[in-house]
Amino acid sequence: MTGPREARRLDEHIAVGVAVLLGLSAVRAASRAFIQDDAFISFRYARNLVQHGQLVFNPGEYVEGYSNFLWTLLLAVALWARVDPIVAAKVLGGASWLGVIAVGVLYVRAILERTGDLRLRDLLVPVAALGLLPLNPSAAAYATGGLSTAFFAFGITLALYLCFARPDPDELPGPLAAVVLGGLLLVRPEAPLVLAFVALGLGVLHGRERLRGLLRWFAVPAAIGLAYAAWKLYYYGALLPNTFYAKSGHTPYFERGLLYVGTFVSSYPYVVLLFAPAAVLAWRARRGGAQDVHGAVVAGLPAGLVAAFAAYVAWVGGDFMEYKPLMHVYPVLVVTFAAGIAWLRRSGDWVGRGAQGLALLALGSGAWFQEPRYPPMVFSPRVLQDQLYDALQWAHIGFRLGRVLPPDTVISVGPAGAIPYYSGLRTVDHFGLTEPEIAHQDVAVRSVPGHEKAADSAFLVERGVNVQILPRMYRFRPDQLPPADPDGEWLYIRVRPDQFLQARYLVQTPALTRWLADHPQDFHRSDREK
């Protein structure tokens, strides 16, 4: 047994190792930090909650065009405290990402304490295996990005730790675990999948003997989920967010989804190795021993959750961002891998030695594979940020539209994040994220999920859109503009001294027409499309 003095020295060594790992992870995340357009959708919802008391995209229009309720509420708190939402999102995301690593260390330690006397040499390799998180460039990037990716991953990891890494597996998880699991239901719509796998794991561990206690324990997350569902039905009139339908989640798109997941695996082939400890522990559990069954639940069940999540990503067709949906569960897979290595490491036979070699092989592969490949129409974090500030300058365009157009102008746009956020104008999303009529359309031609359904001119006119910013957002120099026509349908808006943005003047009003005529330095009308 480890005495008090040895335990204190061990804790000191662990603290130093964790501090180094967290420091390197923070540096890695900072080197890949970025912000993307979709984050500004949540920012706009949060701002409208603070300014108007409504969790909406446009005041008075109750549509759930976001998919991260609790994250958006936290951003609203930051805005209320006068904190820049970009700063708040990066800090919350980065802290969540580091939290995954910290919980991973606790997970490994708890397993080693459960399987025998805690020794430093048994701890080194499993903790080092957590380095696969910062080694992965895609995971490091989505420590930030402005979305709830790392926050959700942290919540899953914490829930699994609280539910399964207990000193006495015969005891039910505590109330904190129930609250965390229920809180996950407020973060992402995929959270019921986590709840189902946790229920399966606890059912395997406790069986019928503790069924009544399990039902009482699950009453907490169930109550949270039911209350949230009831509120959504009352507030938005729907259980699923509008984004689910806009991104064609109700129709399978395996052709593109399998390419998306497959390219991720080919970019980081060591991911396949991370499922190996779960497979070995599941094989051992066939003998039916309590220790083996517990090991299969601790490391095997979360790996099954990751596989199910990846199958869902393939079903919906992936995404246009660099493996963002997979980054919800890649950190969970890394922690599961480290937990499985810790469990197998103490077996003392060839399996234990093989587990150590497997971890070192995975780490070496993680250090080697640093250049992700991309399927068609999938963009890196750097490109996504360039769209905001450098290449396409969506943030500046939004700010400029808010300056030159009257505040009661209604616009429509393709990128529904930074332009609506910085303009402050009432906005119709061209691709239907905040428009149920568009989101529920059938897909005519498959392309990029979230960009397959589009509003036509008749719909935009019905919605009262004055200025339609074309999805491709063509821009021209002053000497490239077509001949002027004061009654023309085409409107060119000066967004920089040497640059005009092409748009259409749809719903024409006398007040807006006079405004355009009174500001010739900012607007150019023509009857011709450039």
d(CA 501, CA 107): 53
- The phi, psi pair for 28, rounded to 5°, reads -65, -45
Strands 467-469 and 499-505: antiparallel
DSSP string, 483-528: PP-TT-SEEEEEEETTEEEEEEE-S--HHHHHHHHH-TTTEEEESS
Element (H, E) at 476: strand 475-476
- Tokens matching residue 146: 């402005």
Please name the residue that has the structure tokens 């559990």: 285
Which of 3, 4, 148 is closest to 70 using CA atoms?
148
Closest listed residue to residue 401, CA positions, set 260, 140, 393: 393
CA distance 432 to 177: 37
Asked whether 214 and 202 are in contact (CB, 8 A), the reply is yes
Low pLDDT (below 70) residues in the chain? 1-7, 10, 115-118, 120, 167-169, 209, 248-250, 287-290, 346-349, 391
The residue among 395, 280, 253 whose CA lies nearest residue 337 is: 280
DSSP assignment, residue 208? G
Residue 456, classified by CB atoms within 10 Å of its CB into exposed (0-12), middle (13-18) or buried (19+), is: exposed
Contact indicator for 494, 470 with CB cutoff of 8 Å: no
Contact indicator for 318, 257 with CB cutoff of 8 Å? yes
> How far apart, in whole angstroms, are the C-alpha atoms of residue 55 and residue 36?
21
Give residue-wise pLDDT tens across range 272-316.
Answer: 999 999 888 888 877 666 677 777 888 788 889 999 999 999 998
Residue 312's H or E segment, with its range, is helix 301-316
CA–CA gap between residue 183 and residue 186 (Å, rounded): 5
* Angle value at C-alpha 30, between 24 and 36, nearest 5 degrees: 145
pLDDT (0 to 100) of residue 424: 95
Side chain identity at residue 275, one-letter code: F
- Write the CA distances from 122 to 111, 334, 344, 348, integer angstroms: 11, 18, 10, 11
Q: Tens of pLDDT along 473-486?
A: 888 999 999 999 98
Strands (E), 358-498: 410-413, 426-429, 467-469, 475-476, 490-496
Give me 6's structure tokens: 């040895």
The CB-based long-range contact list for 188-191 (8 Å cut-off, 24+ gap) reads 188/67, 188/68, 188/148, 188/152, 188/328, 189/67, 189/240, 189/241, 189/244, 190/309, 190/312, 190/328, 191/152
The structure's pTM equals 0.93
- CA pair distance 163, 186, nearest whole angstrom: 19
Distance CA 408, CA 464 (A): 11
Per-residue pLDDT at 2: 55
The confidence score (pLDDT) of residue 503 equals 94
Map 333-380 to HEC letters: HHHHHHHHHHHHHCCCCHHHHHHHHHHHHHHHHHHHCCCCCCCCCCEC
Q: What counts of helices (H) and strands (E) characterise the chain?
A: 24, 7
CA 494/CA 492 separation, integer angstroms? 7
